[in-house]
Structure 1
Amino acid sequence: MSTLLLVLSPVACRKEAAAPSPEYEQAHQRFSKLYAQQLDRAYLDPQMEDIEAQLERVPSESLDAQSARELLQRIRDGRKRMESSQEETEAAVASARQYDDFPSSPREESPAPPPPPAAPAPVDAGAPDAGSSQGPGEGTPASELSSGYQGCFRRGESINVTGRGMRESWELADRFSCRQAYPRFANQLVLVEDGRVLSVLAKSLTRLVPTGPDGGPAAPDAGP
């Protein structure tokens, strides 16, 4: 009787090599592009959440599984760091605004300067003297020569005005106060005609001419 021996040889199982993950490739490309545009601000971009979701779908047996986990952790750490920095910035801004809105302490106002002394009341000099302070002029009433101008004009000799006849004259009184008040009338004569001042002329312009046909007494003449 023959015996059939079956020799069972072990069958070796061949394990397939791990393959790269398309999910990781896409997520890595999107991350690189977004970070190049915004740098660390990219961690707060809403698109980063989609990239995280892609990385979480990378199979654990994939060739890129370890890289996917590292990139996922980098994104989460970066977001946490940026959120913390953003909170600190907002707190600093709020504190600065609160300081600006806080009312400042009232300043001590310097005392007001004393009011200026009251001006002395004007001294009443009495009623103004008749006549202009500049002295008589052409057309001034002759009555003012005697009643006004501080009494500084006195009646002089009558003057024979050529073509007009004898006219009364007035001159400045020889007093210091009068010469000081009306200096321009020194050595001047004020001629009067019909109750008003006719003209003011220098005494040096008058000359003596005979007034009578017989060569009688001469009288001062005012010239032509």
Structure 2
Amino acid sequence: MSILLLVLAPVACRREAAAPSAEYEQAHQRFSKLYGQLLDRAFLDPQMADIEALLERVPPESLDAQSARELLQRIRQGRERMEATQQETQEAVDSAREFQDLPSSPRTEEPPPPPPPVAQEPVDAGPPDAGATAGPVEGSSASELSSGYQGCFRRGDQINVTGRGMRESWEMADRFSCRQAYPRFANQLVLVEDGRVLSVLAKSLTRLVPTAPDGGPGPDAGP
């Protein structure tokens, strides 16, 4: 009886020998394909989680148990390294963006607005130049006819004003500059009385009357 048992023992040992792991084989194939496509970026790919799950199911007594542990460690270390690199890259980008957002030169405050001008009393420039006005008007000084108005008025004939007698008259000189400066005085007469302009009237309103031998009345400005 004892001889039979010794003969069967080697057969039982061969049946309990370790076998390869199907989980490791599948995980290894998927890892090799994914890493070949993405290289180190594969450690951050979502598919890597399924590969890790397969490696964790490899039986400890399997022929591939040691290889499964080494591959699992490689995947986890690769993920940590890639995450650290990714973080450093993001920090560098954020730092560069902050630098670009800084102003190229220090901001300077705008100068305050100047104070409002102080009101000053108007300076009396004296009476206006007769040459700068629109021409003689009733009541203006007769002296301006000879000294002002750019010299554009000359003495005319004596006019007999009805009810007033003989009065001095002035008319505009026949010059282009005068016609341009005082156009409304063309064909007008300026009558003077007591050193002041009495009236401005059209030449067509005057009428000639015979002149007496003793130098009597001339043109009549009356009705």
TM-score for both structures, normalised by structure 2 = 0.47
TM-score for both structures, normalised by structure 1 = 0.47
Structure with more of its chain in helix, by fraction: 2
